[in-house]
Amino acid sequence: MVKKTKGQTLADDILACPKSLAEKDHGLMEKASDFCEGYKKFLSNKTEREVVSYAVPILKEHGYTEYSRGTKYKPGSKFYRINRGKTLLMCTKGKKPVSEGVRVAVAHIDSPRLDFKPHPLFQDADMAFFKTHYYGGIKKYQWTTIPLSIRGVVHTSDGKTVTVRIGEEDDEPSFLITDLLPHLAQNQMRKTASEVVEGEQLNILIGSWPFDDEKVKERVKLAVMQVLNEKYGIKEADFETAELCAVPAFKPRDMGLDRSMVAAYGQDDSSCAYAQFMAELDTKTPEYTTLTIFADKEETGSDGVTGMRSFFFRDFLEDLAQDEGCEVRHVLQKSLCLSCDVSAAFDPAYPEVQERNNCCYLNYGPCIAKYDGSRGKYSTNDASAEMMDHVIGIFRDAGVSWQIGELGKIDLGGGGTIASEISVHNIDTVDIGVPVLSMHAPVEVTSKADVYMLYKAVHAFFNSKKPKDF
């Protein structure tokens, strides 16, 4: 063995030397790939309602029961509560009473998409369309000329509830938003990217063959409405109360010749949701009670009854506190939270938006973001040094790899996460999440190893015996 020089030894000792997950453990990809088979299945659920419907039977298989107030749960008991079919709270009771604090992990299960307007259906130039209002931050031009599927729920005027899911399977019809041919796009191409395709142009083409009756005014519209009526029993007026949306119809796929990545819609934030879901399921009898949250409405600011600003979260903790005869405020002050949301991975095509010493990279593990926000850390949850030390200490002890980064360069934009909605309740919170390429695009890219390592991180957090001592 070649002896290290004095400088090399000193450098090893006192300088930080970030290594990729592959350098630390080359065999990791095999475990990560196995783990991501389940992840790809999870990703076929593309709305918050679908994720909740998918998760609940799995919870039941793992011994979870619906939470009932007043129950004395024993250590290791597992229970859940659903909020309006869109938000899910999952718990594994710890050995210690909740007055010693709970360990929270939260990820959101809504993703950017195209919601239908209340009056979506119209006919123009003998074609029928659905009008949409986009949900979340999208680059609108990315959503034309890609296959779309239609999802959602309709309450019909005759009292039925219909779940819609069409456009995903090979034998089902597809839908799309048209774009202008380059030959006539001289003016369009001179516009700025935010104006190339405008919100009111995001109309989904759904039909072109008229109903066979010349006496009817809008015959194409009638023809497509007839299909919907026969398949689902929907009438046009039912759209007024419906929640329908269009999402990219791509199936989750392995990506790259080495299959080291996943390409799929909705990885913001299903990559984190899946990782924490698996960590929750695999936690048996923790020291502290776990609370795993699937949240809705993050992409539009966490408002509404199913967003994390809603009191349902605190009310649930208040119920848990009351069940054990303590005050919720005492539970909150001793609790800790990992706010699991994705980060922007460094993209060599766009190096100018990142500061190379403080950004995150694919395959370097889940990215801890001490703070987010924008323009001088405005609107940020800035995790304290004590919280960072506590969480990183847990990861170190459990052999979990992580990296630390900011979303991007100062003053180029920015963004917030759910972290602020949790820390407002007096819970120490830090952001951690999977690095993503092409975030918010119809297809996003993650590394399998990063998704798997986030699972290990949340699992270590849930299973740590370390009390909060700050």
How far apart are alpha carbons 406 and 368 in whole angstroms?
A: 8
> Which residue's entry shows tokens 């030894």?
9
Which residue's CB is nearer to Mn ion, number 280 or number 341? 341
- Cβ nearer to Mn ion, comparing 310 with 463: 310
Largest CA distance in the chain: 93
Span of 31-39, 180-188, 261-269, 394-402 interacting with Mn ion by CB under 5 A: 261-269
Distance CA 154, CA 161 (A): 6
CB within 8 Å of 247: residues ≥ 6 apart? 46, 47, 111, 113, 114, 148, 149, 151, 265, 266
Considering beta carbons, is residue 177 or 434 the nearer one to Mn ion?
434
Which residue, 321 or 453, is less far from Mn ion as judged by CB? Answer: 453
State the Cα–Cα distance between residues 158 and 190, nearest whole angstrom: 50
The answer to the question of residue 431 lying near Mn ion (CB under 5 A) is no
Residue 268 makes contact with Mn ion by CB under 5 A: yes
Q: Does 269 help bind Mn ion (rule: CB under 5 A)?
A: yes
State the minimum distance, in angstroms, from the CB of residue 459 to Mn ion: 21
CA-nearest of 128, 129, 86, 131 to 111 is 86
Shortest gap between Cβ of 468 and Mn ion (angstroms)? 26
**Closest approach of Cβ 457 to Mn ion, in Å?**
17
Least distance from C-beta 367 to Mn ion, angstroms? 12
CB under 5 A: which stretch of 152-160, 178-186, 269-277, 312-320 binds Mn ion? 269-277
Shortest distance, position 300 Cβ to Mn ion, whole Å: 10
**Binding characters for Mn ion, 325-344, by CB under 5 A (x = yes):** ----------------x---
Total residues contacting Mn ion (rule CB under 5 A)?
Answer: 3
Query: In the bound complex, what is the minimum distance in angstroms from residue 234's beta carbon to Mn ion?
Result: 31
Question: Which of 115-123, 248-256, 267-275, 448-456 is the region at the interface with Mn ion (rule: CB under 5 A)?
Answer: 267-275
Q: How far is the CB of 110 from Mn ion (least distance, A)?
A: 9
Quote the least distance from Cβ 441 to Mn ion, whole Å: 11
Decide if residue 296 touches Mn ion (CB under 5 A).
Answer: no
Span of 241-249, 264-272, 356-364, 444-452 interacting with Mn ion by CB under 5 A: 264-272
Can you read off the two tokens belonging to residue 169?
């399977």
Query: 179, 204 in Cβ contact below 8 A?
Result: no
Residue 463 CA to residue 215 CA, distance in Å, equals 70
Q: CB-wise, 238 or 372, nearer to Mn ion?
A: 372
Measured from the CB of residue 230, what is the shortest distance to Mn ion in angstroms?
Answer: 37
Which of residues 120 and 252 has its CB atom nearest to Mn ion in the complex? 252
Q: Which is nearest to 91 in space by CA: 109, 100, 110, 104?
A: 104
Measured CA to CA, the distance from residue 46 to residue 316 in angstroms comes to 26
For position 372 contacting Mn ion by CB under 5 A, the verdict is no
Cα separation, 376 vs 380, in Å, equals 9
Beta-bridge partners for 432:
340, 368
Least distance from C-beta 111 to Mn ion, angstroms? 7
Residues that bind Mn ion (CB under 5 A): 268-269, 341
